[in-house]
Every structure is written in structure tokens, then in C-alpha cells.
Structure 1
């Protein structure tokens, strides 16, 4: 695929240890179609896959789980698991696919993840996490990183988080993303775990001061680029935005300014760049809504946004839905914009 920023090079871009901005891994959201769309909005932001369980890679449909379009670079694969051997196997299987980073999930609080003894529950076993990260590093030819919480349940983050980071650092890891909330493993749903435990940005800044050799990014509660820039200006290496960037992709359209790039995409240009990708997907038997569901927020806050969402939501799921539905939705936005009285 040729991206909005020109033909995709076979050479990977030179990457920072931690990107100034990244889009969080989100199950059922950040699939390959979502990432291709996001890449049309930003050249530099690092994109993450949904979490993929290590055993699924070893025993499951590897090509379907791991393949991605080259336009997605820089892109990181997030793995879930707790056994060094199986995580190393999954990392080795992922190597030919050409990811730019492999990330270990130590933050997801869902019951399903807990039952597999991985995700946030691993905050209770930093030695195991270190063993997993060492094994993954040995099996990888790209950087290995970790995404964690500040603690779980009744743990004291002031004790637990520094100890966790010491184990991570001793394992040779230099890239850490910290979700600045505790995770409550019992009594709160995954959704509530993203909203109810209070955010503690200050402890993340203290960890950066205590571990200056680590590249530390913050995740949790960041909703705008201005907020992200303020956190970076205070001394963090990066910021990860999740639901806000998904629900309002315009956040990403200005993201490259964090690197000093002034180029901001025009939505018509973004849509034009998506058409070949959508056409190819449809020709291979895919459905339109598998892609357009990620694009519903493209015009948030603009005239015609409601019509855009309605047309795509009601029609893209129909059998045989094609690019004419996208054209209809885009025309509705154009018409709404043109109907606004102009100052003279």
C-alpha cells in the first residue's frame, strides 16, 4: 500500500527508544484496519496491536494474528503471557513479520487475563516478569518493552513500582509505559479499572527521576495533544493515548507537530488514501464495516459529523456494501459544511 505520506519504504524508519506519542493497544479496537487508518493521520506516532496471547501465536493462525501492512510502521506487537519459554517462542515466531518493538502486557485487569496468570496480576511477581523479558529479548531482534500499572489491589505504589522497575531494568529493558492508575483485580470491571482508580501522574515523574536511564511513557487519562505535550515538557519521554485518540482521530492529525512537523492532513486526503486499502479488502471478501467502524469519529466536532456516522453505521454492515457508501457519507459532510453561512 502507498500511504498518505508517499510510497512505503522497505527500510524501517529510525526509531526513538520511546515514541513521543503512541496509541494504546486496545482489544477489539486497534486491529490492522484501525492502524492503517491511524497511519494516514500521523507519520510518526507509534501504533500498537491488540494484545495477542503467546499461546495463540504458537498454536493458532499465525499469519492472521501477526501479519500487517507495511504502511503501519512504526508498529509494536503487544504480547500477553507469563511463561518465559512460551513468550520467547511467540517472540521468535513474530520476528519474520518485522515489528519494530515487542511489548509485554503487565497492565490488563480482565478476569480472562487474570485466569491465565498474566496482565496486571504480574505486578505481584516482578521476578517472573524479569525472567519473561529476558527470554523475549534473547528471542528478539528489536527492542522489547513493558507496559505496567503503578500497582494492584492494596499494594503501595511507592514501594511496588520502584521495585518492579528495578527488576525490569536489571533484565536489560529500557522502555517502559506506565498506566498511572492502580488495577483492582476483584470488584471492578476492565472499564471501571480505566476510570475509577485515581490517576497518579506524580509517581510516574518520580520514577523518571529515580530511573533516568529508562525511557518512560505515561498512559491514562490523556485526552489532548496539549496535555501530552505538557507532560513531555515536564520531563517524560513519551505519552500513550488510548480511547481519546480512537474516538476522536483528529487528535492524531496534529500529532506530528510534537516532532516539529507542520504537515497536518486534510480529511479528504485521508479518505482518498484509504480507498485503495478498502478496495483491496473488499476484493478479498472483507466487509466495509470492518474498516469504517474505526473511522466513525473522523469528523467529530465538524458539520456533518452526525450524518457521517449515521450513513456508515446504518449501511456499511450490509452485504455487498462498497465505496459508494463512503462516498455518500463524505458527500453528506461536504454538503453540511457548504450550508454554513460564510462571513463576508
Structure 2
């Protein structure tokens, strides 16, 4: 038995239209499964927390959906299946699920074996001295990327996916700024001084498919820091086309580094977002890789030679 949990607000509310067809499919193919689509986040979280540990949950939604449900998934040690139905779907890309028809994705999520992947955890302090903690599956961004995330969340409803992200990027260029960051990876200084952004990737892409760190893997036991130094508007405009095709890592002001623990400080405060969800402004933050912390039903890991036949072996290795 499994719970199919749909976020009716995914895709700007369009996901709710799939409820009747999902109910009909489950009645024919998986009558023991339950479909739920709570309208409030608190109700979804309460439902997840009520499940026995180790239960399988099929999430119907996108990166924002997973970000909101991830704390409960981890706390209850639930196995996650995914039917991609969001605007970004970067987690789905990392799991080899993006582009699958929903019927195939749902059947795969219900029946295929699970394997362990990493998640990220961040603890941060806001300018008022209050402490916060959260987790993420795909990415954490600070600086320019987070400012874009806020604009994208408040952007036009008729724009979806990458076009929405690019629209937000162009809008943010009009108020371009840098932040004085001090960044240490595993205790070693990585960057000190003005920076455009300092992001952490658990997946190869963010921002609806932008290949931010093409070599990043969701199951390699580490996160990847992506840092950009000070850029002016022209520099950002010249760098963005390189980002679209994954050529930005050769730029002299861009660097990446794998890590287990990342520390960032910014006396003035820097905007923060996880999985495209804006969190607020942080003065200090610590990011940690939670190795093998989430059980997921993946199809394959793009860019590797992984196959479903090896899923159980890796899961045993990580445990």
C-alpha cells in the first residue's frame, strides 16, 4: 500500500485538474492506494507524520512541493516516489524522471525499488539574531540566485519553468548588487570578499533546468558549492548564455568545490532560498550534506552508469 499525495497548488494550481484522472487510474491499476490532495500545507504535513515509518509516499508536484514536505519525509523515514508536476522539476531531472508521462511515472513510483540519496541541511541566523533550520533536496542559493527566486515566485502566472526564471533574472539585473561573503568549505577558506552568489547544489541543475554544476550527483555523499565573484551588469549578461549551456565553470570569476560542510557569513545579510523557495535574509549559515538520508524511487542518475539493477547494492553500502 502507498499514499499518493498531490499538491493542488503545483503548476500554479493546474495540478488540481489531474485529481479525477489520477483517481480513475488508481482505481484500475492500484486499488489499494489512497489519493489525498489537501489544500493546506499543515494538513499535508499532518498526514505524512501520521504514516508508519518506512511507508511509501508518491508525491505529485515539483521542487517546491518536495521542499515543503521534505522535513516530514525525513522525520518519518518515508520512501519517496515522484510524479513530476511542477514548474522546475530539477529534483526529477536528477532522478531520471523528468519528461516521463505521468502514468508511467506513477506506475514506476509505486512499483520500482528505492535507493538512498543525499539531502542538504542548513542552519542560519537572520539579522535579528533568530536561528532557523531547514532542509533541501536540490539546491540552496544565497545572493543573486535567491533574489531571482523571490522574483520568480512573485512573477506572472502565465510564465512557467525556465522562461519564468529568465524573466526574473532580467528583472533582477536592473537592481544588481553583490554581497560581502566569507565562505569556508570543510574548514578551508574558499572565498572572501564581494560575490554575486554562493550556491550549493545537490543536483546538476537548478532554476528549471539550468546546468549549474553539471557534474553534481544526488547520491555521491557530498554537495557542490558554486560561487561567482563580483560582476557588473554587462558581465552577468555575458555570463548567463554560458550558464544556459553549462560553460560558465570555465569563467575566471566562477568556481565550484565539493564539500561536506560549508560556512558562509555576511554581516550585511544575504538573501537565502532552498529549492527555489525564498526563506529570508541570513547573516551566518552552515550547510551540511546529509549522506544517504532519503529513500527515493529513482529511474536512473543522468551522467552516470547507474542502472536500477544496482540500486539495492548502493543502498546497502550507504546504510
User: Could you say which TM-score interval applies, normalised by the shorter chain?
Assistant: under 0.3
Give the number of the structure with larger relative contact order, counting CA–CA contacts within 8 Å between residues 6 or more apart. 2
> Normalization by structure 1: what TM-score?
0.26
The structure number with the bigger radius of gyration is 1
Which protein is richer in strand relative to its size?
Answer: 2
